[in-house]
Amino acid sequence: MLFPLKDDNPTAIIPFVTWFLIIVNVMVFIYQWSLGQRGFEVFAYQYGAIPAVVTGERSLPGGLAVIPPYVSVFTSMFLHGSWLHLIGNMWYLWIFGNNIEEAVGHFRYLVFYISCGFLASVSHILSNSYSILPAIGASGAIAGVLGGYILLYPHARVMTLIFLGFFIRLLYIPAGFVLGFWFILQLLSGSMAGRQDVGGVAFWAHVGGFVAGALLVGFFKKRNVRFLNPPRHRAWMYYD
């Protein structure tokens, strides 16, 4: 398992949109948590993206349907199922979001983020169109950030914690390898999971968001930002 801790890719901006997204996600989760277990579940059904409801195959009871189904595709990306879910997503956004925000600009970064989250939700809905379980989480949108990052900064060094059984090492590894490994893992997991009628990780949302970010970053990035920045060092792996 690879777990990124930080990247060696400094920015010259204050990434206030990334901070804003993190704060909003945390505040929404605290509100969810304050509702208690039953209220937490009801809130997820009200504002999560339920594939069968979005596609019109099913409908929610009147007491739950507080927003149009298509709006839930957007609201769902600000909900999380647990503290671990929230922290994991916000950690990745904190590490990689600031560089994408600098590369595309503040406002366009927000549009890019939401667009990737939307397309990630669409990917999940298309792969599980009859599911009646709400899909929640920012991971699809954040996967889009990772997709943009791997194209713009594949040679950026990422301090990574590596777990291989009893082997634990801390290494600097190129972002292209770390994020490429993550994408392949999502793709393989999604292929093996099949239809997800019993919940779990929405792997196809991750795949869809990542591909969306890789495809869209070229349209959103500033003109002076080039693809495939050259490595600062010759070595492909760095020990720390």
pLDDT of residue 65: 74
Q: Which CATH class is domain 2-239?
A: mainly alpha
pLDDT of residue 239: 40
Helix (H) or strand (E) holding 39: helix 36-47
CB atoms within 10 A of CB 67: 11
pLDDT of residue 235: 43
pLDDT of residue 223: 83
Domain extents for the chain? 2-239
Is the pTM above the cut of 0.85? Answer: yes
Residues of the chain with pLDDT under 50: 233-240
pLDDT of residue 45: 93
